[in-house]
Structure 1
Amino acid sequence: MFNSAVLESVSDINLLTDMLRAEFSLEDWDAMIHIADKLYLSIRTLYDENQLRQAKGQPRIDTKKLKRSVAFYFGYAMVAKGIALQKMGDYTAARDCIEKYTELGWIYGLDVEGQADVAHFRMLARANTYVLDLLEGKMDTLPEYVQFIHQSEEEELLPGIITILEAAIKYDYNVDWALKEFQPTLDSLDGNYETDANIRYYIDHLYLMALYNLKNANYSNALNISLKALGMSDKLKDDTGYKKLNALFVSFSVHATKDQLEAYNVLNNKILGRVLKDEKGIMYDGSSFVSAR
């Protein structure tokens, strides 16, 4: 007889994974921790039940409805929880999460895809250990981390830049040399990303780049980066990023040039015009409201 809780976990696993991605894009760290725990419990329940059935010689529960390997869900749950804890400043708990996905080879019955996922999470564990070291002020690890990013998959670039900038801002550390190494690749990015997570990384790296420049009194560069990021946030429909960047630009607008203020006004007029486009009986001509009748 099938365990109803296990059957429910099978149907929930893919949904919980999608929910984690959504909460990451919204930067809701408490929700991420809650959902990550549910995902880990669900995949653990499924895995343990199948191990028990195999030991008893009973038919295993069909996992074909899962979009990824069992190892992926174990790792993804702990990576997501670790990131949320890191963002909340609980580095000790975040390290505990890293330990849980450093080595997932204990999972029985992994196919080629599963083995690849194990290797991927092993790499992420190394990367996120560097991240926590830097965020705890161990800036002597920066050269090693820069080399690690160079040698890693492309998807590690933006999270790596974000970590470097966060540590630099937090500890008043000059990382110009590190940023310069990645500048050609960063300049080639156009923000055409397909997932909310990638959009979040792209906008956040611009936001932190602006903050880093502001903290170093490079106001012109900071406001130019903010304007670029505001335009990309609008294009990519990233409301979370837009709110932060808008507040940043307005707060430091006293340092803006006439051209920068004009560019900011043009962007906001464009947004307002688009928002009012479908309003009945009213139009926006760029400077005032006019009747559409």
Structure 2
Amino acid sequence: MESMSSIRSEIEDHLSSSGYTLTTFGHLSGMNRGSLSAILHGTPPKPIAIRQLDIITETLGYPEGWFYHLYLDECFAGTKVSRRRLEPYLIRCAELNKEECLKAAIVRLLETPKPIGILFDIGEKLYQKGRIAESALFHEAVAEMEKDSHSERLAISQYRLFMGKQGPDAEENWKAVIRFEPFRKRLPENHQLDALLKLANVCFTLHKWKEVEKYSDELRALAQAVYREQLRRKVREKSCEVLDTERHLVVYYGQGYLLKTVALQKQDLYDKAKKYVTGYADLSWFENLNEIGWMEVKKFKVWARANAYTLEMLTGNIDILPDYCQFLQDHPEEILPGLLTIVESANKYGFYADPVIEQCSQVIQKLNNQNPIEVDRHYSYRYQLSIYHFRKNQYIEGIAHILVALKLAYLQNNDRDVIQSVTLFEAYRAHASEQQKREYQLLMEEIRSKEKGYPTVGRRYHFA
């Protein structure tokens, strides 16, 4: 560990080698000469604020954070911590991606008598500033150090870690769900609403329909309880305190019904699912709706119509297809889930819908495959569309779509979907063109190389 004078010695050496006196450097940097003298020569020396260090660094012409590896001693005096200096320093370290400085600070904090509160507070400040990866270092330390399993800080830290783990990798997402799930009910209500919605959405992309049901039931119950309490308080105290949540309360209420609908639909429990559509079809009765709230109510109204069409199609009511197509034209954001419903119903009930598929194909081509739910729907659409073409003996077209589905499954690291796609391809391999067989072989080599943990020999493959 550097001594307390090392950062001052370093600064003085650089001032001397650059030919600066305190007076000339003070004029150049805009810092008071007396302050510089107190910092460098005081007995004891005056602590350096991180902003002052940044000014010194900039004036000397060095990159930002040049002296940061020496600054940590400014923040500690034995086992005492100067949060006034430590917190700005760590936020700047995060902004400059100085991970080693952050890790060193955590080690020093763990040597102090009560480090968990400071670790948690810094983690929260970094998280709120969008420094998710850096905040995880501090939340992970809290998760490891906190002995009280019912601690609110522990639950929030686990929630932050769960949120930071979300990405395109299905396996990693499921691991994150398993780790966080036991802590969800220990969160404050505002975080709990957000957490239940996120858990349900993640499980949606993983096709864990029983889990989607469970979290949507919990979300619906909590949103209703919060809403009733707000109404009681409004009557009793003539005030309406709003929880600090990411979304308007009506979103959690409506999503509790919507996600329940989808979970039941995916389990072929169509009649039960229809009962929940009415729960979010018209939420205009919801009190305390602001402009954002009213926009959300309008969205739920559209989604309810879309899901009502979906359930009718999946139960064999093909007569509504013209109305459904008009609905999709009026609401192009619903085209992907709508086409999936139409193609799935066509495969289930033996009809064809070529004009609809052709009309909407351009929208599907423009998908950016960024949103996990959108990627999941895109995969399901391609998989169902391949079956649709095989029914028509259009083997080349069917295989082309199953190859796209296989790429999407691989990008999500979704073993179930990869196996499903491979099985379907192998069933129709004899009908594949030589080019399609080569493309399939390259995909399988890429998948196998990832499983074995080493790069493919001699070449790299990239998917469009």
Structure 2 equivalent of residue 268 of structure 1: 444
* Distance 1:30-1:274 versus aligned 2 partners, 3 A rule: closer
Quote how far apart the aligned CAs of 1:136 are: 1.3
3-state SS in 1 of match to 2:247: coil
Between Structure 1 and Structure 2, whose CA radius of gyration is higher? 2
1:6 and 1:49 in contact (8 A); partners too: no
**TM-score using structure 1 length:** 0.87
Structure 1 equivalent of residue 260 of structure 2: 81
2:375 and 2:408 in contact (8 A); partners too: no
Aligned partner of 1:100: which letter?
Answer: G
Structure 2 equivalent of residue 24 of structure 1: 204
Identical aligned residues as a percent = 26
3-state SS in 1 of match to 2:316: coil
Q: 2:365 aligns with which of 187, 190, 212?
A: 187
Quote how far apart the aligned CAs of 1:269 are: 1.0
Q: 2:354 aligns with which of 154, 164, 176?
A: 176
Structure 2 equivalent of residue 258 of structure 1: 434
Report the Cα distance in structure 1 between the residues aligned to 2:416 and 2:203, rounded to whole angstroms. 11
Quote how far apart the aligned CAs of 1:27 are: 0.6
Quote how far apart the aligned CAs of 1:6 are: 11
Report the Cα distance in structure 2 between the residues aligned to 1:60 and 1:7, rounded to whole angstroms. 22
1:10 and 1:46 in contact (8 A); partners too: no
Structure 2 equivalent of residue 91 of structure 1: 270
**TM-score using structure 2 length:** 0.56
Aligned partner of 1:150: which letter?
Answer: Q
Aligned partner of 1:285: which letter?
Answer: V
Structure 2 equivalent of residue 209 of structure 1: 385
Report the Cα distance in structure 1 between the residues aligned to 2:361 and 2:186, rounded to whole angstroms. 48
1:10 and 1:42 in contact (8 A); partners too: no
1:224 and 1:260 in contact (8 A); partners too: yes
Quote how far apart the aligned CAs of 1:239 are: 4.1
Report the Cα distance in structure 2 between the residues aligned to 1:238 and 1:193, rounded to whole angstroms. 15
1:85 and 1:93 in contact (8 A); partners too: yes
Quote how far apart the aligned CAs of 1:127 are: 1.1
1:44 aligns with 2:216: no
Aligned partner of 2:457: which letter?
Answer: D
Q: Deviations over 1:252-284 (max 9, x none)?
A: 223323332222111111222344345xxxx76
3-state SS in 2 of match to 1:77: helix
Report the Cα distance in structure 1 between the residues aligned to 2:300 and 2:365, rounded to whole angstroms. 28
Structure 1 equivalent of residue 342 of structure 2: 164
1:155 aligns with 2:155: no
Q: Deviations over 1:78-97 (max 9, x none)?
A: 11110111111111111111
Q: Deviations over 1:18-67 (max 9, x none)?
A: 10111111111111111100000011111111111111116655412x11
* Distance 1:188-1:60 versus aligned 2 partners, 3 A rule: closer
Q: Deviations over 1:208-248 (max 9, x none)?
A: 11111122222221111111221233235444432321221
* Distance 1:155-1:240 versus aligned 2 partners, 3 A rule: farther
1:200 aligns with 2:376: yes
Structure 1 equivalent of residue 423 of structure 2: 247
Report the Cα distance in structure 2 between the residues aligned to 1:89 and 1:232, rounded to whole angstroms. 25
Structure 1 equivalent of residue 34 of structure 2: none
1:140 aligns with 2:319: yes
Report the Cα distance in structure 1 between the residues aligned to 2:445 and 2:203, rounded to whole angstroms. 30
Quote how far apart the aligned CAs of 1:250 are: 1.9
1:9 and 1:43 in contact (8 A); partners too: no
User: Structure 2, unaligned stretches of length 5 or more?
Assistant: 1-184, 459-464
Structure 1 equivalent of residue 133 of structure 2: none
1:102 and 1:125 in contact (8 A); partners too: yes
1:276 and 1:284 in contact (8 A); partners too: no
Root-mean-square deviation (CA), in Å?
Answer: 2.2
Moved more, 237-246 or 197-206: 237-246
2:204 and 2:212 in contact (8 A); partners too: yes
1:54 aligns with 2:230: no
Report the Cα distance in structure 1 between the residues aligned to 2:214 and 2:366, rounded to whole angstroms. 37
Structure 2 equivalent of residue 290 of structure 1: none
1:82 and 1:98 in contact (8 A); partners too: yes
1:32 and 1:84 in contact (8 A); partners too: yes
2:446 and 2:456 in contact (8 A); partners too: no
Report the Cα distance in structure 2 between the residues aligned to 1:219 and 1:56, rounded to whole angstroms. 68
**Paired residue total:** 275
